[in-house]
Chain A
Amino acid sequence: MGDVRSMLTTYRHLVGAKIRSDWQYRTSFVRYLLSQTVVTALDLAVILVLSEVVPSLGGWNLSQVAVLYGLTTLSFGLGDLFVSQVETVATHIQLGTFDRFLLRPLPTIVQLPASEFALRRVGRSIPAIITLVVALSMAEIDWTVDRLALVPMTVVAGTIIFGAVWVVTASISFWAVGAREVANSFTYGGGFAHQHPLHVYSRWVRTLLGWILPMAFIAYVPAVHLLEAPNPLGIPSWLALTPPLVAIAAVVVARTVWRAGIRNHQSTGT
C-alpha cells in the first residue's frame, strides 16, 4: 500500500510539472481547450439537429440519446485526460526517447500518462457533464437508490474501460509504429459510435466496437436499464451492474498486452 501511495505522489508531481510546462504556452493551451470543447459540442449539435427532423433514433428519444451522449463522452473525456497519452509511445519509439522511460524506477504505464498529461483535454468533459446533468433531469427516470448509484459507477467504470482500450490500441505501436491511425479509429471511433444507441449499427460494428472492445458497457448497457428505453438487442437488466467487473478484466488484459509490447520492444529495439 505504501508503494501505491508513493507512486501516486510521484504521479502528482509529474503531472504538476507538465501543467507548469504547458502553462508557459498559455495561448496555445487556451486555444486547444476551446477547440476540444467545441469539437465535442458539435457531436451534441448533430444529435440536436437529428432530433429536429425525426422524433427518435432507434426508438430512443432526444433526452435518452442525450444521456447516452453524456455518459459516453464523459467517460471518453476522462479517459482521454488521464490515459490517452499512452499513444505518444509511437512518437517516443520513433524518436528513440522511449528509453528514458525504461530507465526510471516507475512502470512505463504510469510514467507516460503522467509525463505527457495535457490539462487542455479536460475540454471534452465540459459539454459532456452539462449534457449529462440536463439530460438526466429531462429523461423521466424512475429514480431508485440503485439507479442513483448506477450513474457514478458507470462513469468510473466507463473511464477505466476507455483507458484500457487506449492502452491496448496504443500497444499496437510496439509492433507496428505506423499504426497510430488504425488505433485512433478504434478509440475515437468508439467515442463517437457510442454517442448513439448501439442497436442502430449492424452486427459487425456492434461486435467489434461493443463487445470485443467492450465499449457497450461504457454507456449503452447501463443506460438501457437506467432509462428503461427500447431494448431491441434484449440486454438483460442485470448486465447493467457488470461494468465494474468488465473494467477490471479490461485492465488485466491491457496490462498483459502492454507488457508483451514492452518485451517485444526490448527484443527488437525498434
Chain B
Amino acid sequence: MFGYLRAYILIGVAAAGGGEVAGWDEGLMVTFAFITQSLLAGTGAFGEQELAERIRSGDVVVDLYRPVDVQLWWLASWSGRSAYTFGSRGIPPMLLGAVVFDLRVPPDAATWIVFALSVVLASGIGFAIRFAANLVAFWLLDSRGVDQLVTLVLTFFGGLLVPIVLFPPWLEAVARLLPFAAMAQVPAEVFLGLHPGRGALTALATQLAWFVALLALGRVMLGAATRKVVIQGG
C-alpha cells in the first residue's frame, strides 16, 4: 500500500516539475518508490533487539565464552534472516508495483550483478549499525531508544520517504555523508542505472567502506564491553 501511495505522490511531484525534477522523471520516481519498499525488508529497517535482549538478560555471557567470534556469529544469523526476508517481503512489493506501473528494471546482467552486490553490502551495513546500537545495552539499561533513533534517521536520510536527490542541496550533501544513504538510496540508484560504468564501482566502494568502518566500530565497542563484563565478573 505504502509503495503505491508514495509512487502516486512522486508522480505528482514529477508532474508539478514539468515531467522531471532533479533529473528524475516519472519512471524513475515510481520504480524508486517500490524498490525502496523492497529494500526496507532485507536491510532490517524495522529495528532489531535480539542481542540487546541477551545483554539485558545476561545470556550474552554464554555468547562471549563460545569459541566463535561474537560479531561473526551474529552476522551469520543476520545474513540468513536477511536473505529470507528479502525473498519473502522484498519481492512482493516489486511484483505488486509491476501490476500497475511500468517499472524500470535493469536492462543488462552487469547492472543486476552490481545491484545484488549493493544489496548484500546494504544489508551488511544494516547489520553493522544494529550490532553497534544493540551493544549500547551494555551501558544503557534501555537501549531500545537508540535502535528507534537509528530507524527514524534511516527512514529519512536513507531516502525511504523521498529520494534524497529531492532534498535541498545542503541536506542532500549531509545525507550523502551519512551511512544511511548507502543502505537504501544507493542500492536503489544502482537498480535504476544511475551509477553506470565506473560509477558502479565508486558506489560499491563507498558501501564497502561504510561496512568495514561500522564493523570496526562494533568491534571496538565489543572489546570495551567484554572488558567491562570480565572486570565485573559477568
Find the B residue at minimum CB distance from A196.
Answer: B9
Q: Are A53 and B152 in contact (CB under 8 A)?
A: no
Q: Is the CB of B9 within 8 A of A42?
A: no
- Distance (Å) between the CB of B231 and the closest chain A CB? 26
Complex alpha-carbon distance, A52 and B11, angstroms: 16
Question: In the assembled complex, which residues on chain A have CB atoms less than 8 Å from the CB atom of B167?
Answer: 49, 52
| Cβ A54 vs Cβ B21 within 8 A | yes
In the assembled complex, A46 has its CB within 8 A of some CB on chain B:
yes
On chain A, the residues within 8 Å of B142 by CB distance are 27-28, 31
Which residues of the other chain, B, contact A49 by a CB distance below 8 angstroms? 162, 166-168, 171
Mask, B92-129, CB within 8 Å of A = 1, is: 00000000100000000000000000000000000000
Question: Closest Cβ of chain B: how far from A127's Cβ, in Å?
Answer: 13
Q: Is the CB of B4 within 8 A of A53?
A: no
A57 touches B12 (CB 8 A): yes
The residues of A that contact B54 with a CB separation of less than 8 Å are: none
Give 1 or 0 for each of A31-55: 1 = CB within 8 Å of chain B CB: 1000100110011011001101111
Residues A200 and B12 in contact, CB atoms below 8 Å apart: yes
A53 to B100, CA, bound (A): 26
Q: Of all chain B residues, which has the CB nearest A206?
A: B8
Interface size class, chain A: 20 to 34
Q: Provide the residues of chain B in CB contact with A38, threshold 8 Å.
A: 152
In the complex, whether A102 has a CB less than 8 A from a CB of chain B is: no
Q: Which of A52, A54, A189 contacts B2 (CB 8 A)?
A: A189
Assess A185 versus B1: contact at CB under 8 Å? Given A50-B166, A196-B12, A200-B12: yes
Would you call A31 and B16 a contact (CB within 8 A)?
A: no
CB distance from B156 to the nearest CB of A (A): 5
User: Which secondary structure characterizes the binding site on chain A?
Assistant: helix
Are B12 and A53 neighbours in the complex by a CB distance under 8 Å? no
The answer to whether B156 touches A58 (Cβ under 8 A) is no
Assess whether B201 is interfacial by the CB under 8 Å rule.
Answer: no
Contact residues on B (Cβ < 8 Å of other chain), bracket? 20 to 34
B194 at the interface (CB under 8 A from A): no
Closest to A34 in B: B145
Contact with A along B135-153 (1 / 0, CB 8 A): 0000001101100110010
Known A42-B155, A185-B1, A189-B1: A53·B17 in contact at CB below 8 Å:
yes
Q: For A46, what are the chain B residues with a Cβ–Cβ distance below 8 Å?
A: 161-162
Inter-chain CB contacts under 8 Å: number: 77
Q: Of all chain A residues, which has the CB nearest B166?
A: A53
Decide yes or no whether B70 CB sits under 8 A from chain A.
no
| CB <8 Å contact, B5 and A205 | yes
CB-nearest residue of chain B to A182: B1
Is the pair A205, B162 in contact by a Cβ cutoff of 8 Å?
A: no
Whether B152 pairs with A205 at a CB distance below 8 angstroms is no
Q: Does B13 lie at the interface of the complex (its beta carbon under 8 Å from any beta carbon of A)?
A: yes
Q: Does residue A211 face the partner (Cβ distance < 8 Å to B)?
A: no
| Residues of chain B within 8 A of A189, CB atoms compared | 1-2, 5
Known A200-B12, A201-B5, A205-B8: A28·B162 in contact at CB below 8 Å: no
User: A193 contacts the other chain (Cβ, under 8 Å)?
Assistant: yes
Query: In the complex, what residues of B have CB within 8 A of residue A101's CB?
Result: none
Q: In this assembly, does B22 line the interface, its C-beta being within 8 Å of a C-beta of chain A?
A: yes
Please, what's the 1-or-0 string for A46-87, where 1 marks a CB less than 8 Å from any CB in chain B? 100110111111100000000000000000000000000000
Say yes or no: is A202 at the interface (Cβ < 8 Å to chain B).
Answer: yes
Task: Check if A186 is an interface residue, CB within 8 A of chain B.
Answer: yes
**Is A192 an interface residue when CB atoms closer than 8 A count as contact?**
yes
Q: Are A35 and B8 in contact (CB under 8 A)?
A: no
A31 to B47, CA, bound (A): 15
A258 to B155, CA, bound (A): 35
The 0/1 profile, CB within 8 Å of B marked 1, for residues 14-35 of chain A is: 0000000000000110010001
Q: Which residues from A are CB-within-8-Å of B171?
A: 49
The answer on a CB contact under 8 Å between B8 and A42 is: no
Shortest C-beta distance, B18 to chain A (Å), equals: 9
Q: Cα distance A100–B73 when bound, in Å?
A: 43
Known: A54-B16, A200-B11, A205-B5. 18 other contacts (CB 8 A): A31-B144, A35-B148, A35-B149, A43-B161, A49-B162, A49-B167, A49-B168, A49-B171, A50-B166, A52-B168, A53-B13, A54-B13, A54-B17, A56-B16, A57-B16, A192-B5, A200-B8, A201-B5
